[in-house]
Amino acid sequence: MQWRVDEIRDQWGMRGECLVAEPLAPLTTWRVGGSADLLVRPVDLEDVHALFNFLRHNRLPWVVLGGGSNVLIADSGVRGVVIQLTDMNYIIPCGECQLRVGAGCSINHLVAETVRQGYAGFESLAGIPGTVGAAVAGNAGALGQQVGDCVHSGLVAENAAVERWLHEEFAFGYRSSAITTEYVVLEVTMKCQRGQPEQLRQRVKLARQHRWQAQPVVGANAGSVFKNPPRQSAWKLIAESGLQGKSVGDAQVSKQHANFIVNCGKASAMDIVALVSKVQQVVAEKTGFKLEPEIKFIGDFGEAAVQVALMQVNGRV
> Is there a contact between 251 and 33 (Cβ–Cβ < 8 Å)?
no
Catalytic status, residue 224: yes
Nearest by Cα to 309 from 297, 299, 139, 140 = 297
SS3 22: strand
**Active-site choice (224, 254, 268, 277):** 224
Q: What is the DSSP string of 299-310?
A: S--GGGGHHHHH
**Active-site choice (9, 79, 175, 208):** 175
**DSSP run (H or E) holding 10:** helix 5-12
Nearest by Cα to 64 from 90, 33, 86, 32 = 86
CA distance linking residue 211 with residue 52, whole number of Å: 38
Catalytic status, residue 294: yes
Handedness of CA 267, 280, 136, 56 (dihedral sign): positive
Catalytic status, residue 9: no
Nearest by Cα to 71 from 82, 81, 60 = 82
Handedness of CA 60, 269, 211, 315 (dihedral sign): positive
Catalytic positions, written as ranges: 175, 224, 294
